[in-house]
Chains A and B, each alone.
Chain A
């Protein structure tokens, strides 16, 4: 019987080896990569400056960064560099200055609530151009916002409680951002240092509200934050955003990270950028900053 057993096992291993050795070669397939387009993101920052992030989309067939030089080349290809960027409104055209490659700012644009602003971008080195139109919405404040800290010998839990009142006469959409700077990161949280947080360890999350979220025009919420320590800083922002950007953020939130996108149904993210991706916005967040060690 042993002979039969070993014969069967040997036969089975042979079959498995044969199966493994016969994995057929893949077949090349023609899929037209999406052409590179300009990606826009923007908002109003303190001192009422309009800041615009401009990058470029890239194809999955872009070379993989195997060396430092290739990585730098890829980064240069990805950031919009020395572009001609303007914002026009009420017959006036303001030119935005490049702070660093990919970041453009206007310090002199007159920002008026409910005014329309048109962004035009042209990058001479690639010939890429894009445009977008948005409406500036008024800044909205929290009625009240404060942290609730519960300290126990083994743990500290932090929750943010806030109340927000909606204007019932118009259709409104809101984003609530939680920005946590963990104390292990070094300096205090500087919410105006948007892309320059350096070694700061920043965790962020957001909530989205629409008119249906409010009861008698009031929204009261208690949000418990994860991974918070007693010496961290927290900023809580509220901004009145357009319906289009609300839908963009909703789609983005639903698909979550890249891994979730890969296991989800395909999605086409909404955009207001003509010949581009992303969202051009002129929302002005209202932020409250809390240093938890003060509580």
Chain B
């Protein structure tokens, strides 16, 4: 307990610095002047100094200064900078409306971007990824479907899974070590079409931030990364429509005011239509009766200057429904997420957000054949709340604290089978498992000097298992930055993360039967300790940021599957799990240019990730599946003219690891009446697939139509995935040559895939 008292002592001490002069506060919200959307991360600072702050995720800022006259600068990426002169003699509310770049002069916008990059240099926060949504839209992907997760996979430290998959392996972690939040709620299933497309409809998104290390204390619950995704609030000013028709799916978003400047809505939908097209082609036959869809809704109500209410909703499904004379059935899986949030400003320094969360993921599989029937159902449901506070003490000190509570309810593997199939798949009722998770946290962002910023905090998490075991884990967080000058800085961070859930999946492809399970009395929470150190340099003239980070991560109580485990519809999954430790370290290099006619980035990672489990690989340390030594991505976008631009992404990755079958033998059974064929595996993950590399390109042609009552903006996206048609090794099989000899051959899934998409806005 002593160390906790010490921690809170310093926390309070840091926040109680007294200033001799009268102090007053400028506070308010920064908006987009066209849509009325709040802006996240806008900078509000005193001209010519580094004194300032940034708006939080709800667009709110608070700046406490000594009495006097100030030139305040408000800037945001892609928007014109605004200057305000303030004579500060009392607390002031200053709401600011920024004009988007396209309505103003480029030079001013560039200046604003420069300031954001300078803030990145100064900030204690490190290991973060931020890409503007507008930039994400132009990066080519499979089928031309904009996909934020696939874009994140192009970043250093983030490795993708198999070809086209939406899995992420961050800094040596596993695929289930990533916390993905949509308007504060956890998204358990982030994929459509067995992992090839993400569930996030880009039209409905406002901002995406990803943390790989140096985690702020308000985030936790996963070992390796946090992706915080925010939906658009809905246009407060006028009604408009965004949409797009793509190769695989189409999407449409409607938004507008219900009460101007007071209340707005957003409704967004997306559906794939390969099933409908094939139905047309094959005259009504259900050739591929599969589709997916997403629905995003948001309601945003400004109750008063101090209170704001948001309701966010997401519903999406993957549906396969087949009907024939010999087999009738299919599957359905998807998320249902809703959050209600209430922002309240207690005073100009104390901002709060109360969120009620419901999130559910479930799947159902049904099959009926003559004389047989089978159905399987599983679900996970979270109900909870978050109450977060931000106290903007002064320009040097901000304290964030809060409490989060979640009731996790799991109902896995409810199986009903009848007929001969019941001999192979037994009916099970499925166990109802409930766990309760409580988190309290406090975080202090503190400028020790003008050049040194400190960010430290403690997250205390508790989890009560179904059988009454209480886990409690302190999770200290710490990061510090030292600005050598306004162009370069050094950073260092330490984070402990604890994970109380794990995904049971023994496949390299996302299956509907993959399920989340909580820790239990026997399966302990996973834990990681990560150290990271970084250096940043800003080439101001060319607006290019260079960053280099090294990290070292230890992971404890990791979960793997016992040798020979078969987890598909296995109700006794706990018996199949074994625990061990892991280690990961690496170096990441990132050069990013976000403005000008040419923008893009180069990301390179060299990394190592190992595991050690007593029950696996004869107890010997082995490389993790996604221990890939080198990852390189080069992403660029070039505007030839205002109407015509191109973008490309070239990626190279060392092949992923696998456990090869190197032989087999026949073994008589124990009664010597029959034989079994047994496979011989090499050491775990000792095989390496060939390296993969590919080029994706797209060309964007913009068109405008200005009529009296209609301002139509259109964009054609033409491009190709895997432009030079190189196999991205994904699986290995044995092929026989004409002479009868055999060889191992690695195959990919997709070759050259062209796409065309048309996006519009009016």
Contact = CB atoms under 8 A, between A and B. Distances in A.
B753 A265 contact: no
A55 interface: yes
Interface stretch (B99-107, B318-326, B548-556, B673-681): B673-681
A28 B676 CA distance: 30
A18 B734 contact: no
B564 interface: yes
Interface string A234-245: 010101010000
Interface stretch (A33-41, A92-100, A124-132, A158-166): A33-41
A58 B736 contact: no
A153 interface: no
A254 B751 contact: no
Contacts of B546: none
Contacts of A256: 566
B742 interface: yes
A265 B754 contact: no
A34 B664 CA distance: 9
Interface string B680-706: 111010010110000000000000000
B669 A24 contact: no
A29 B688 CA distance: 9
A20 to B, nearest CB: 9
A266 B672 contact: no
B745 A32 contact: no
Contacts of A195: 668, 672
Given A15-B754, A266-B563, A34 B725 contact: no
Contacts of B687: 29, 31
A235 B673 CA distance: 11
A34 B722 CA distance: 35
Contacts of A25: 727
Nearest to B729: A27
A64 B736 contact: yes
B637 to A, nearest CB: 24
Given A24-B725, A61-B741, A261 B746 contact: no
Contact of B564 (A43, A60, A62, A264): A264
A260 B672 contact: no
Nearest to A10: B281
A269 B678 contact: yes
Contact of A204 (B661, B663, B671, B734): B671
B653 to A, nearest CB: 14
Contacts of B735: 26
A292 interface: no
Interface string A47-73: 000010101111111111010001000
B4 interface: no
Contact of B280 (A9, A66, A179, A267): A9
Contacts of A268: 563, 617-618, 681
A188 to B, nearest CB: 15
Interface string B271-294: 000000100110000000000000
A265 B564 contact: yes
A295 interface: no
Contacts of B747: 26-27
A22 B674 contact: no
Nearest to B668: A41
Given A27-B729, A59-B662, A204-B674, A252 B742 contact: no
A34 B672 contact: no
A120 to B, nearest CB: 19
Given A13-B281, A43-B672, A269-B678, A57 B665 contact: yes
B330 interface: no
B746 A26 contact: yes
Contacts of B12: none
B564 A261 contact: yes
A277 B680 contact: yes
A255 interface: yes
Contacts of B745: 26-29
Interface in B562-584: 562-566, 568
B662 A27 contact: no
Contacts of A39: 665-667
A53 B761 CA distance: 75
A9 B562 CA distance: 49
B669 to A, nearest CB: 6
A55 B665 contact: yes
Contacts of A257: 676-677
B673 A267 contact: no
A218 interface: no
Interface residues of A, number: 76
Interface in A171-187: 175, 177, 179
A24 B751 contact: yes
A12 B249 CA distance: 12
Contact of B506 (A61, A63, A265): A265
Nearest to B740: A63
Contact of A5 (B280, B677, B727, B751): B280
B332 interface: no
Given A18-B752, A26-B745, A29-B732, A239 B670 contact: yes
Interface in B28-62: none
B726 interface: yes
A31 B753 contact: no
Nearest to B739: A63
Contacts of A237: 671
Given A19-B751, A252-B678, A268-B563, A64 B742 contact: yes
B391 interface: no
A258 B677 contact: yes
Contacts of B14: none
Contact of B662 (A34, A251, A260): A34
A82 to B, nearest CB: 20
B599 interface: no
A202 interface: yes
B703 to A, nearest CB: 19
B726 A265 contact: no
A58 B665 CA distance: 6
A15 B757 CA distance: 13
A60 B734 CA distance: 7
B744 A204 contact: no
A191 to B, nearest CB: 8
Most central of B563, B740, B750 by chain A CB within 10 Å: B563
Given A29-B689, A60-B742, A61-B743, A265 B677 contact: no
Contact of B744 (A51, A57, A61, A249): A61
A263 B564 CA distance: 9
B664 A58 contact: yes
A266 B664 contact: no
Contacts of B722: 24
A22 B506 CA distance: 30
B384 interface: no
A269 to B, nearest CB: 6
Contacts of A22: 725, 751-753
Given A24-B751, A269-B678, A12 B277 contact: yes
Nearest to B655: A29
B659 interface: yes
B164 interface: no
B714 interface: no
A18 B754 contact: yes
Interface string A187-224: 00000001101000010101000000000000000000
A9 B280 CA distance: 8
5 contacts: A27-B690, A29-B689, A62-B742, A202-B673, A264-B566
Interface of B: 247, 277, 280-281, 423, 506, 561-566, 568, 617-618, 659-674, 676-682, 684, 687, 689-690, 722, 725-727, 729, 732, 734-736, 740-748, 750-756
Given A29-B732, A41-B672, A264-B565, 15 more contacts: A5-B280, A15-B754, A19-B751, A22-B753, A26-B747, A28-B743, A31-B687, A58-B663, A60-B662, A61-B743, A63-B742, A235-B671, A241-B670, A252-B667, A268-B617
Nearest 6 A/B pairs, CB to CB: A267-B564, A34-B663, A22-B751, A177-B671, A26-B745, A34-B662
